[in-house]
């Protein structure tokens, strides 16, 4: 809704461009996104590839103008290609986007009904399976209302603790 606009580019899988079939072109905090992605990857944290990119719409600026210096953050779409690169030994897992500004926004266990999670967590992979047991099980162990039953062993059964800590430290 802001100006300049962000864009999503879908590329047919049969004609991938530089190994990708989708890009998100983000207009805000461009240097932070590109440099942050590079730092995260150098630190061993799974993250998307990001580079500076330009966009022309009919040989000019798109609706809403262009970002500072005319550069967008051209971000790799987190999907199966990203998962294969980031998690080569476990690339078939579920990927979720989290929108914590949509109620309910708490990181908590909400019971066994998947609908209780679908306003906050959005599946980005294996969508047709409609299987939410992994995130429900993780939140049953890790959610903010589970401190009485939390143990290190239970946490390690549902998350890669070192990976999470590395991610949090870099972010």
Q: What is the pLDDT of residues 24-50, one digit of tens each?
A: 999 999 999 999 999 999 998 888 899
Verify cis geometry, omega within 30 degrees of 0, for the bond prior to 29.
no
Q: What is the mean pLDDT of residues 119-137?
A: 89
Residue 70 falls in which region: left (phi positive, over 0), alpha (psi -120 to 50) or beta: left
pLDDT for the residue 32: 95
pTM higher than the cut 0.85: no
Residue 58 falls in which region: left (phi positive, over 0), alpha (psi -120 to 50) or beta: left
């Amino acid at each position: 809704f802001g100006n300049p606009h962000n864009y999503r580019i879908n590329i047919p899988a049969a004609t991938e461009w530089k190994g990708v079939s989708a890009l998100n072109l983000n207009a805000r905090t461009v240097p932070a996104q590109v440099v942050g992605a590079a730092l995260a990857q150098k630190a061993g944290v799974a993250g998307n590839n990001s580079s500076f990119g330009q966009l022309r719409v009919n040989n000019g600026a798109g609706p809403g103008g262009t970002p500072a210096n005319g550069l967008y953050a051209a971000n790799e779409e987190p999907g199966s290609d990203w998962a294969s690169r980031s998690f080569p030994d476990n690339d078939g897992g579920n990927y979720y986007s989290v929108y914590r500004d949509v109620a309910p926004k708490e990181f908590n266990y909400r019971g066994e009904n998947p609908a209780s999670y679908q306003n906050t967590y959005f599946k980005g992979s294996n969508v047709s399976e409609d299987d939410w047991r992994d995130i429900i099980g993780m939140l049953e162990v890790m959610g903010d209302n589970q401190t009485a039953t939390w143990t290190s062993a239970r946490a390690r059964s549902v998350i890669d603790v070192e990976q999470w800590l590395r991610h949090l430290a870099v972010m």
